[in-house]
Structure 1
Amino acid sequence: MSPSSLLPQLNWKGDDIEQDKSLAFINWDALRNHAAAVKRELDGAACSCHLSREYNMGGLHVVRRIDFDDGHRWVARLQLEPPTPESSLRLQNEVDTLAAVRAKSKIPVPRVFAHDASGEVGVGVVFMLIEFVPGDTAMDSFGGWDARKGETPARFKDKFHAALADIQVEMASIRFDKIGAIVYHDGEFAVGPIPNLGGPFDTAAEFFEAWAGAAKFPYKEATIRPRTPVHLVDEILSAIWSFPSGVRELSRRYPFRSGPFPLIHTDLYSSNIIIDADYNILSVIDWENSLVGPWELVEFNKELSVVPAVMDGPVFSKSAQGIAMQSSRAEYIKLVQQAEERGQHDTTLSTILSDERVQAFAHAFWLYGEGRIGFYDRVLKLLDYENVASHNPNFDLDLS
């Protein structure tokens, strides 16, 4: 990235992170020295640097800007945990995925200058040194969550959604014959194992079988009961605990789509999309948990994701907001179809997004890992409606 004396006002924290005792395991001096060494190797000339006082922290990472004396700026993105085999694998998968996205699509992603997936540099955590993109996340911009509650400003929504549609079409066009995490080996991109799950998998059924054996709902009964209506709690608990086994049974009879399978960014929230002051998308970040996955797990970007009505069961009620969301989703599908046509892509993505049963399953699948309480068994019945109805002529599932 070319030097610039102008730095946009970012919604980052400004207190002294190096005095944060909870992060005492991070060796900031080692990070500074390593960044300078990498820059010197790339440029062939010595250049000193310092870490910005400003930083951003969320989830499993902390981000600090690296300012070089020659005006260039990078970003250090560090995991907020000591290195483990799984965290190291996640970082390497993200580095390889970013390289694949840059090579195989037009999706804007930051360039990776260096990374340490083993902890050998001595920083205390695994990390990446990446291109600094001079913008804020769509979540943090224009007053952030406090001002907008995650909503895109109305004057930018059409443009933003059109750009997201282009990105999702590009992403869905990055396909592999197996399901797993992207790896770079011997000069080629391939698919390897998914951290904490295994693989690669030849079919969606194999993936869901493995997921069912490893899945764990993040909350225990003692947490769920107080948050759930008394007259429904036992049924909901049963639905939650049985969801993995239900997915396993479904995988043995449901006609999931075959490969090649698409790349999926599992955290396509506005907090992972960097924009400029005019809401143009500058970069898509945080590919750590991305995977090449089953088509039935492809969903809308998170701003347009909705909890399936059947997950709420008898407590579901229609609302003006929900009706407006359905309209926005329909408009978004049209944008995807237009992007598919412009890029001469097939229509698999728009077909998947248009299938309400598949979308209910996809979103419920990701919500399970986040701990959302609901009737997961009804989502499976909805996806498998034809099979269930054929064995029970009196079966009726209210989709309202």
Structure 2
Amino acid sequence: MPNERPSAHWLGSSALQPGVLDDQIQAVLSRANFRHLEKVALAARLQDKAITDSNLTCIIDPSAFAHGFNNVIFEVAFSDSVYWIARIQHVTIDASEAEDNTADLLSDITTMRVIKERTTIPVPTVHAYDVSPSNEVGYPYVLMEALPGRILGGPIAKQVPLEHLPKVAKQLAGVLFQLHARLAFERLGRLWSGDDGNGPVEWFYAERQEDNRQALQSHYQDKEWLAACWVLKTAVSHIIIEPRLRGPFPLCHLDLHYGDILFDDDYNLTGVIDWSGAQTVPLERLAVSPEFITFPAGLAEVNTSIVAFRELVREQLRLLENSRQGDEGEQIPQSTFSDLFGTRRAEITHRCTYSRPYRALWDGRMVAKLIYGIHVSWTQLVDAYGETELC
């Protein structure tokens, strides 16, 4: 897709639905100082000594945008047909959370720069940023490279033609392998905002405790919900790989799925985007993705295609692990990453880490089946845990 504008397929205001998200984005459209952002972009571009056009200009059209839950994306169009992306955070940040939000944004930027320096994973180059909500634009922003390609319209296993699936699997395996082999660290946490030195058990435990707390706010007297939260909490012992308790811990894109992966018309992977929240995690967490999980109520043919794609990725990972022919200085951790794919441990990890408070009951029942099979019934678990206070 040569020279296609980033905004070519954006829906702008027509994609908005009435609600808080709509109000936040409308506030950005009406209040953000786009003229100042254009000046910042132009100044950043002119730092490139290869630019000789003294009449270079740029424009940001506020009517053309894409959006997510936290950010709205605008196209920065230069007069020489070069395009950047302006990412503006639209979510309202409480004053008490401002410091943490700033650290999170700086971590996102640091993450993209580290990935670019140490891997061949295609991530955007960051050209300029200001993460203060009181800057002249009026909102935290990042100016970055506009990568070519577009996202698929649904899960990879369903959207990519069969003849291209092996190539796509090889490319995705390459992304995961590099995160595992080239971006493994001795501690868990964000690359910028620091960490508390906890290990994998504490990482999974803390995530689960917070979700359980939220789930039980509305269902505290419900025995089934309480039992489900107990199941999800105790599932941590079924997730951890003991030899990896002390690391190393790979960097993880926490929601690596079709919506964050760009492809060209020939299904070459051209970008991995939205690294918000990326952090080093237990290896078990890196092995899960919405692209690899089946749906209990899904069509058999769809689930079959997902399993087949997952196996293709696993095979490619094994080839990479066996070759061990990376760049100089690359170290392959001893634990075999590919062995986690498609295992019961991986599915328990997925069900627990992708669980949300509002569906804790459903996820708890799913995890109970994975752990206990037919040997312990849901009724027995409710009897055992339904009146036990969650600590």
TM-score, length basis structure 1: 0.74
Among residues 188, 194, 208, which one is paired with 2:204 in the alignment? 208
Q: What secondary structure sits across from 2:191 in the alignment?
A: strand
Report the residue type matching 1:75 in the other structure: I
* Residue in structure 2 matching 1:30, options 16, 36, 43: 36
Contact kept? 1:179, 1:202, Cα under 8 Å: yes
CA distance, structure 2, for counterparts of residue 37 and residue 8 of structure 1: 21
For 1:161, the equivalent position in structure 2 comes to 169
Offset of residue 132 of structure 1: 1.1
Query: Over residues 43-91 of structure 1, what are the superposed CA-to-partner deviations in whole Å (9 max), with x where a residue is unaligned?
Result: 4867421014432112221111101123322110111224533332221
Please report how far the alpha carbon of residue 350 of structure 1 lies from its aligned counterpart in structure 2 after TM superposition: 0.4
Could you tell me which residue of structure 1 aligns to residue 91 of structure 2?
Answer: 81
The answer to whether the Cα contact below 8 Å between 1:10 and 1:136 also exists between their aligned partners in 2 is no
Pair 324,42 (structure 1): closer, same or farther in 2 beyond 3 Å: closer
Instruction: Say if 1:50 and 1:67, in contact at 8 Å, map to a contact too.
Output: yes
* Counterpart position of 1:141: none
1:276 equivalent to 2:276? Answer: no
- Which amino acid in the other structure matches residue 113 of structure 2? A
Deviation at 1:256, TM superposition (A): 6.9
Please report how far the alpha carbon of residue 124 of structure 1 lies from its aligned counterpart in structure 2 after TM superposition.
2.2
Deviation at 1:25, TM superposition (A): 3.8
Deviation at 1:35, TM superposition (A): 1.5
Secondary structure at the aligned position of 1:274 is classed as strand
2:180 partner amino acid: A
User: Which residue of the partner structure matches residue 127 of structure 2?
Assistant: 113
Residues 211-360 of structure 1 correspond to what in structure 2 (within 5 A)?
211-216=207-212, 236-242=224-230, 245-246=233-234, 250=237, 255=242, 257=244, 258-306=246-294, 319-344=300-325, 345-346=332-333, 348-354=336-342, 356-360=343-347
- Tell me the C-alpha RMSD between the 2 structures: 3.9
Q: CA deviation at 1:121?
A: 2.8
Quote how far apart the aligned CAs of 1:396 are.
Answer: 5.5
**Range moving further from structure 2, 86-95 or 38-47:** 38-47
- Between 1 and 2, higher relative CO (CA 8 Å, sep ≥ 6) is seen in 2
Quote how far apart the aligned CAs of 1:181 are. 0.6
Alpha-carbon shift at residue 317 of structure 1 (Å) = 9.0
CA shift digits 1:315-365 (9 cap, x unpaired): x799343344333322321121112234444562102225x2221222112
**1:35 is matched by which residue type in structure 2?**
A
Partner-residue secondary structure (3-state), 1:162: helix
**Given the alignment of the two structures, is residue 361 of structure 1 paired with residue 348 of structure 2, yes or no?**
yes
What amino acid is the match of 2:321?
A: E
**Structure 2: how far apart are the matches of 1:158 and 1:149?**
11
- Gapped runs of 5+ residues in structure 1? 139-143, 184-191, 194-198, 225-232, 310-315
Aligned residues: 351
Task: Give the gaps of 5 or more residues in structure 2.
Answer: 17-22, 326-331, 379-391
Match of 1:181, SS? coil
TM-score (norm 2): 0.76
For residues 150 and 78 of structure 1, what CA distance do their matches in structure 2 show?
A: 32
Identical aligned pairs, as a percentage?
Answer: 22
Q: Is the 8 A contact 1:205 1:256 kept in 2?
A: no
Equivalent-residue separation in structure 2 for 1:381 and 1:179 (angstroms) = 30
